[in-house]
Structure 1
Amino acid sequence: MTTSDPSPFPADVTALAADRALLAEYTSVLGELTRIAESERMILRSRDGEISPPMAARQERLGERYAALTIGLKARARALYGASLLDPAQMERKIVYLVTLMKENQRLMNARKAATALRVEVVMRAIAEREAASALGAPANEDGAEDLGEEDATPGDRPARGASSTLQRL
């Protein structure tokens, strides 16, 4: 130790402690992100589950922290590995699992968005068809929907049979 060094510990011991703290925080954040992604997957797989705004906000904050820690970990990876603190294969498995979860969650989210868009399209089409039939003064059919009549309408102008029951299923 030199007289200009205010620390009572050698620099390598201090650096090792900092590396351990960095790795511990990185592993903790990675684990928390994985738990949130697993919860998100369960929610997205359920028909009615919704991701809460606090959960999404927490995931975003952790993602930002994870990105910052990744930069620090990359800079110190060789030292961590040299000190036998980092098992690259184990860390890679954890990261690959998180990436797999995130990709699956994105796929599930996209499927949900597509299903919602389809439901909205069906509802909007049924409303437009009902308004068009009403404007023509057409009587209601057996579903309670108005019918344009077979002789006046082209197939594309007629309300779909069972449109009302389709809306009820949605």
Structure 2
Amino acid sequence: MSEQEAFWQALIVIAGAASAVVTSTVGARAYAWKRDADRKLLEIRQQASEAKQQAEQVSALTVAIARLADNWNRSDERAAEERRRFTEVLAASAETERRLTQAVEANSEGLLATRAAVEALARNLHDSLQPLHALLADLRAAPPAGRNRRAVRRATPVSPHAE
């Protein structure tokens, strides 16, 4: 094998290794991004569930307190003031629940969009590396060029069935 052939053979091996490293690195990074997005989405869902449970508890407690307040024998003025406070608490609770729901939805949409972008990036990178893989396969399969072409042809076994 001549120096030139050895050089090209080494270059092909290096290019193949570089391609494999790039493909592996990008795939690992895309998987890490996807895993992080999935983890964050799960955390947001858990937070939303906890917020919903707390809002339900506050609502149930407020209703129970309102019932007790209605049963108390208090003055009309004091009962009216307590009903006003309970209404404010209910309104504040509903507003808090609405804001929490909006925040969770916004975060979920952002994470889903990030996940879709990462998956598209991984697909595009994979698709863009396909021609390089094909070129490397062609280079590996091609006979060596140069002075020793005849020697290679002579060294290649000829099938007795070849025409």
TM-score by length of structure 1 reads 0.33
Larger C-alpha radius of gyration, 1 or 2? 2
Higher relative contact order (CA 8 A, sep 6+): 2
TM-score of the aligned structures, taking structure 2 as reference length: 0.35
